[in-house]
Structure 1
Amino acid sequence: MTTLQSLLDEREITRGLGHFARILDQKRWDDLTTVFAHDLAFNYGAGGEQEGIEALEEQMRQFLDVCGGTQHLIGSILVDVDGDRAESRAYVQARHQRRDDPVGAIFDSTGEYRDQWERRADGWRIVRRDAIWFLHSGDPAVLAAGEDQLG
């Protein structure tokens, strides 16, 4: 049975995903903790299993600090709330542009974020993320780290 609270929870989680996209595109690394728990576990692909907000920030910066503008589009969001825990699945399309080259090469990553959320004292936070990549296209040198992972 859907309750008003579960709809409000779903809305907060959906907004958290949108907020995450803007954090990446604006490179506001200090704001990662508004979406992710400090003790999260994650796997973005080639980097394998990792833990902690510091490791997540390091991974994001490794790719996004070396490229120019980005746009992360998150959609087709499905959220299932169960009390103080939730799961979400969301498609992601991430476009990355070469630094200082507004008409130059781009690199796109397309996939899905599979997240586990917990209601914490400061709101809903992702405690587990698995990024599943469907395809990459363009010039991986835009990221200066290859096409193995990112999003």
Structure 2
Amino acid sequence: MTTVQTLIDERDINRGLSSFARILDQKRWDDLPTVFARDLTFNYGSAGEQEGMQALEAQMRQYLDVCGGTQHLIGSILVNVDGDRAESRAYVQARHQRRDDPAGAIFDSTGEYRDRWERRPEGWRIVRRDAIWFLHSGDPGVLATEESQLG
């Protein structure tokens, strides 16, 4: 039976996912702890298993600080709440544009975020994220650092 509290919890988790997309697109790295627990573990695929807020910020900055505008769309969200724990699955489509080239190359990533959440004193936080990538298209050089472009 769905309770009012469960609906509120689902809403809060949905808002957390929406906030995360905006944090990335606005490159507000200091706001990552409003969505993620500081003791989180995660796997975005490229660097394997990682843990902690510092590692998460480094992962995000590695790609997003070198590109121009981005838009992260998160949808088809499924949330299952069980007391002070929850799981969510959400599709993600991330568009990245080359820096200083508004009509230039883009790179798209499409996949799913599989998250485990815990209710903490500060609210719902992601304690585990697995990013499962379905496909990539476009120019991956959009996300390349200057050092990697030099050879």
TM-score (norm 1): 0.95
In structure 1, what is the equivalent of residue 134 of structure 2? 134
Q: Measure, in 2, the Cα distance between the counterparts of 1:46 and 1:94.
A: 15
Larger-gyration structure (1/2): 2
What is the RMSD computed on CA atoms of the aligned residues? 0.5
The equivalent residue for 2:77 is: 77
Q: What letter matches 1:108 in structure 2? A: D
Trace 1:41-120 onto structure 2 (pairs within 5 A).
41-120=41-120
Q: Could you list the per-position Cα deviations for residues 59-86 of structure 1 after superposition, in whole angstroms to 9, with x for gaps in the alignment?
A: 0000000000000000000000000000
Q: 1:80-117 CA distances to partner (integer Å, 9 max, x unpaired)?
A: 00000000000000000000000000000000000000
Instruction: Indicate whether 1:144 and 2:144 are aligned.
Output: yes
- Alignment correspondent of 1:18: 18
Identity of aligned residues (%): 84
Deviation at 1:49, TM superposition (A): 0.2
TM-score by length of 2: 0.95
> Which residue identity lines up with residue 20 of structure 2 in the other structure?
F
How many residues end up aligned between the 2 structures?
145
CA shift for structure 1 position 46 = 1.9
For structure 2, the 5+ residue unaligned runs are 146-151
Query: Displacement of 1:54 after TM fit?
Result: 0.4
| 3-state secondary structure, aligned to 1:104 | coil
Q: CA deviation at 1:124?
A: 0.1
In 2, distance between residues paired with 1:14 and 1:115? 12
In 1: Cα distance, 2:23 partner to 2:114 partner: 18
Tell me, what secondary structure is at the counterpart of 1:68? coil
- Structure 1 residue ranges without an equivalent (≥5): 146-151
Q: Which amino acid aligns with 1:86?
A: A
Q: Which runs of 4+ in 1 moved over 6 A?
A: none
